[in-house]
Amino acid sequence: MKHLASIGRYAIMIKEVFKKPTKWRIMKSLILKEIDELIFGSLGIIIFISFFIGAVITIQTALNLTNPIIPKYLIGFTARQSLILEFSPTFVSIVMAGKVGSYITSSIGSMRVTEQIDALDVMGVNALNYLVFPKIIAMLFYPFAIAISMFVGISGGWIAGVFGGFLTSADFVEGLQLDFSPFQVTYAFIKTLVFAFVLATVPSYHGFYMKGGALEVGKASTTAFVWTSVVIIVSNYILTQLLLGQ
DSSP H or E segment with residue 84: none
C-alpha to C-alpha distance for 29 and 41, rounded to whole angstroms: 17
What pLDDT was estimated at residue 122? 85
Helix or strand or coil: residue 130?
helix
The DSSP letter of residue 140 is G
Contact 197, 132 (CB under 8 A): no
pLDDT of residue 246: 59
CA distance from start to end of the chain? 35
Q: What is the DSSP track for 7-65?
A: HHHHHHHHHHHTSSPPPHHHHHHHHHHHIIIIIGGGHHHHHHHHHHHHHHHHHHHHHH-
How do the pLDDT tens digits run along the chain, 246 residues long?
Answer: 677 888 888 898 889 888 888 888 889 999 999 999 999 989 999 999 999 999 999 999 988 887 778 788 888 899 999 999 989 999 999 999 999 988 999 999 888 888 888 888 888 888 888 999 999 999 999 999 999 999 999 999 999 999 988 888 898 899 888 888 889 899 999 999 999 999 999 999 998 888 877 778 888 888 899 999 999 999 999 999 998 875
Position 166, amino acid: F
Amino acid 143: pLDDT = 93
Q: Do 137 and 36 meet the contact criterion of CB atoms below 8 Å apart?
A: no
- Helices (H), ranges, the chain: 2-17, 24-34, 43-64, 73-81, 92-113, 116-122, 127-138, 142-163, 169-177, 182-208, 214-244
Give me the amino acid identity at 185.
V
In the chain, what are the domain boundaries?
Answer: 29-244
